[in-house]
Structure 1
Amino acid sequence: MRKIVIVIALMMFGLGYAQSSDKAKTLLDEVYNKVKSYDNIQVDFKYVLENKAENIKQETRGDVTIQGEKYLFNYLGATKIFDGNKVITIIPENEEVVIESPDVEDENTITPSKMLTFYRQGYNYSWDVLQNVRGRQIQYIKLIPIDTEAEAKEILLGIDAQTKHIYNLIQTGQNGTKTTITVNSFKTNQPLSGNLFKFNAKKYEDEGYYIVKQ
């Protein structure tokens, strides 16, 4: 009799997990479809890295404009542009520009153009807590990397239940480091300059920048 009870309990647990996973996938699909429906997206965000054991806490802000695979990413005083062919990193502090091909070999690399869609591959997911954040209902989905050697132990993805936009991402690393990215503003279908994703090499050469092509 005890064995039957254990088997039933395991079956119920498995069913509950499957339902949780299906529910999470449905919401993630809604988020993905919403993101893909926009011509372009502009995100201003706050980035916090914290490791209590090492007494480390760093805070900074950044912004990214995404149109298809192209992006313009401003972060930590540098600018990164992907024009569809090359990745250009502009570092004013060093007066340096690095031009390189995108890393097509590592599909798990989260590039700025994948910031809002990275969860589509490489993770198992489940339904997590619902929180009220300043009047907004934020539903969390827990993502566990399928790759057991991944740097991330788990990721909590907070989704605005009404808009289906990502509100924040909380990543806990294998080393205990917690990284939190919170969206401060999320704008869509903005009028963009036709030259936004184009790199003017002459401009930086004239300013004395060292240009490295890899």
Structure 2
Amino acid sequence: MKKLSILFITLLLSITISGQNTTSKAKQLLDEVSTKMGAYDNMKIAFSSTLTNDEVGITDDPPIRGNIMLQGEKYNLDYLGNTFIFDGNKLYIINNEDKEISINDGDMEEQDGFIYPSKLLTFYKEGYNFKMGALKTIKGRKVQYVDLTPIDSNSDITKVQLGVDAKTKHIYKLIQVGSNGSKTTFTINQFKSNQTISEKLFTFDKAKYLKQNYLID
């Protein structure tokens, strides 16, 4: 009986230490990603996204494509037919189809658990528990996944998988699973850093859009 007790305690400690190690390795990898990508003056990213929900028969085909230029907290994002300009203080959402512009104080907040493309590089820094996931080979590159679980048990997101290029330490893919069964996948198709850009890229030109008969809220 005593031997069984010792064996059980040893097994329990082994499982606990293993869990701590995988969490530590995941944190180390995410810290490397944050340090590497945070050191760039700016980043230009072309990405694609898909939304699937087998329960209701939803599949994005072909994938939705977008582009984003990031410089610190500022960004210029083209996605879903809209342009999002965040100058560090205000967010300008330009609906090019309806020619309408809304202006908000502060950046985009998560709605219904959705991780916006502008948050791809920073969302994981708070609000999640994480551990190392699978190491996969995708199109000839090694991609290490980190599995993230929201700390908030009432979150609309049940799980997030963040794929990191093991060689470059750049984010390559993000997969988020919602409580409603939906799965959203973002894939970074092209990445460029430290580009020569104009500060006007992050500035809203009100006169320009008024001339084009846009309605500004």
Q: Normalising TM by the smaller chain, what interval?
A: over 0.9
Show structure 2 runs of 5+ residues with no match. none
Distance 2:108 2:99 in 1: 27
TM-score, normalised to structure 2's length?
0.92
- Give the letter aligned to residue 179 of structure 2: Q
- Give the letter aligned to residue 159 of structure 1: V
Deviations 1:106-159 (A, max 9, x none): 7x8855543212111111111111111121110111001101111111111110
CA RMSD of aligned residues (A): 1.7
Distance 1:150 1:33 in 2: 28
**Greater shift in the superposed pair: 169-178 or 71-80:** 169-178
Distance 2:44 2:108 in 1: 24
SS in 2 for 1:25: helix
**Greater shift in the superposed pair: 31-40 or 53-62:** 53-62
- Give the letter aligned to residue 71 of structure 1: Y
Count of residues paired in the alignment: 211
Matches within 5 A, 1:3-152: 3-58=5-60, 59-102=63-106, 110=115, 112-152=117-157
Tell me the equivalent position of 1:201.
206
8 Å contact from structure 2 (residues 90, 107) kept in 1: no
8 Å contact from structure 1 (residues 144, 155) kept in 2: yes
- Give the letter aligned to residue 144 of structure 2: Q
Which ranges of 4 or more aligned residues in structure 1 deviate by more than 6 Å?
none
8 Å contact from structure 2 (residues 128, 149) kept in 1: yes
Per-residue deviation, 1:3: 3.5
Distance 1:69 1:149 in 2: 28
8 Å contact from structure 1 (residues 21, 127) kept in 2: yes
Does residue 171 (structure 1) correspond to residue 173 (structure 2)? The answer is: no
Per-residue deviation, 1:199: 0.8
8 Å contact from structure 2 (residues 41, 193) kept in 1: yes
TM-score, normalised to structure 1's length?
0.93
- Give the letter aligned to residue 119 of structure 2: K
Distance 2:114 2:175 in 1: 17
Tell me the equivalent position of 1:155.
160
Distance 1:109 1:184 in 2: 20
2:190 to 166, 185, 191: 185
